[in-house]
Chain A
């Protein structure tokens, strides 16, 4: 039986949430404004005519029904998986399997659609410069390019392309900019032409087409709604990222509604200018602008821009390429994630749930998703691919509308909702009816899409009967292993050590031990499992056993030093987030980190992670480089600003050996400074140290003032510090909060010093206000001194 103390040392796995309301709204906007609007506007205009604007508005209304459902469930169950998870939760047996199966298909085939759109836009772009690719054109070229871009994105995702994730907001803003430019130029053209209204009520030259706003009547509008439904499903991605959102109960439902409020009017404006701003070219065979737009098919938007906008075709082609690529990246990611989740749940063969040991990417799920994309892109015309995707999404959302009713009934009184759908259950029922109706109606537009959809669902039912159901039963009798959370007393003084490599832990523990000798308290060891951006952080749970030896070894080392550590393992996309979250939760007073001494990002002081921790963690931060031996004999503390003088009293003095040795405060001044001014500064600092000594009774602690030497040197700061460091066992560089943020005072000098000195180095940022270590009241005193002092 485990004792309390050993239980307390069980690592606890936790997740980091790092997406703000803005981030997650942009994720939703990015998911919607993308390839759907770029690729399908021309096709949709062909069935709705000028009433495309109305089709977008009505799609907005239909989307709002399910949007409310997503807002409710996303606020209460903010876990990765979204719709699949809720259907699994709310509906029995095969529904869960089918939801995942359909979701996988929908996302993968959406990827096929975007890849084909990419091919079309790349051809349009190259045409602007008279470039031909292998003499190919039209559908054949689109399919070749689609296959190549799918392979490229599968490879990028296989390599773990976190940069795409980081660039997400920028790409979204770029897309918004291009669409905004298109709308602005279109509106300018429209309002210069007083006859523009005629384009929205054109005559008919074909007996099969009605004159006026809706040439194919209401049925044409409904078909356009079905065809463009994919452009409205992006809010699904908001909830799929649910477990990474800050304050999900509040932010997820808000993001759903805000994303819709941005996207729906924008789509309507796009439809408005696409029909209203185009002037029929002299060589056009089409009698109306909507028919001309329909003739352009998937590059309708690009051609429309070329018609009324300077460099329009080039700009919109670039927008189209950007949109289709980012959408393809997102769907590669989401289709992989869904099939991976199904594999992990044993609904699909276990190979889908395998994670590559090095890249931590579910490589089999990724490869099979890519294969599905290529098959659909090559095997079917784009309008049928789009229709199949739409049908699948409509059916998936239909299931979610059913699931919200059962979840509210089964778990409603146990969940904390951030939003509750009004007029329940009539709103989800309306969602079910409207989606079912549109999906069935799509048969009129693309019977092939329905055959494919039925074939896929049939195959899914078969797989479930033969495999999934059996494995599901097996899984349900498998016991669940629960990790116990360590108890942390937030009121006690504590030091958090970020444990990475076992061989470097000892060094960090020595520093932590030294701090705890001065101020007794608790030691926490934290190891962070990092997961690539394109995977949910929950994947990191699979690696707990793998990292256990690291944290166990550090714990043993700490115990060997007489400390009794609490161990934590967190999962996050970035180590900094996990460390900041831990500091916030545990109220740790000190964070001790290791640093290899390299800076990959020149914009940061000592690397992205450490810079963020220093700025955002409300704790004192100590960064250690090299093998520190404590207590140290001779410590050099360069003092560039008087505020750094507190390092001597608060941090450096306790690290000094009991007998021999000393601390040298080194202040480097401009060689132009007069001897008189130097003497004044020396006197001021000496006086300051004397007062420090008196008020804190440092002599009683055997840390007398005489062991602190003050030296003023004239010359270059970096050169002087590097030169003096040769005689010392340890260099401590400090920074006030402002200087770390503004990166001006120490900035590059810290990097240059760190790069050149050979002895062990500590970078220390003592945070005023929560300082329990040392004598915080002297901090203010040193701020009063304006310059350094000479010995």
Chain B
């Protein structure tokens, strides 16, 4: 990490401390924001719009579901979202097998909003933990079909490496189970994934608060994806802003290069010239 030389300066002239960050590049698209938002679970469209605006997110996820023809109020969420301004990342949520996920990914591509998909193969309804074998299998098929695959995975470094090798656009390890708000229970494993990956690592699921997002970004995660923590906050827009600040703070910390942890103290004040009694 580049060191910023401390230069003599007058105390009244603020300097910018941020080195120019590189854009986040996923599947050939460039993004400035490193916070992605899910669009589920909002109490109202108004709260969702306010949160999307406050978050500064440039990528939002959507799911695909059957149209309920008996319900005239059944609307596509894309009627609510400005797709010219926000990139729409469809997911395969609800798919329990590789076959189902491939089918939904193909349907998602037919939306015409980009050849990319957040791949979810989740057979387990209690913890919503993804099936690594099904995910790898579906990812292989979709990559072959030219779809950029962003797989949602457990924090499993060897799996992340295999997914990168077969050509996935990112890996999206979970911090903790979806919607649980437990934060980064897999911090060390995520750190290893980040260390080994050359594709963007997006920490997805389980983030509950800005500190969780900041911690993920401090490790060098490329981005965070947050849904429940914002949608279910008492004030979603304010929480969106707070988490966006957490993401930015964590990113800056990573770029700034934090100090190593030490078992012992290291005094911040000079140890010489201490006023003595001698």
A associates with B: no
Residues in chain B within 8 A of chain A (CB atoms): none
Residues in chain A within 8 A of chain B (CB atoms): none
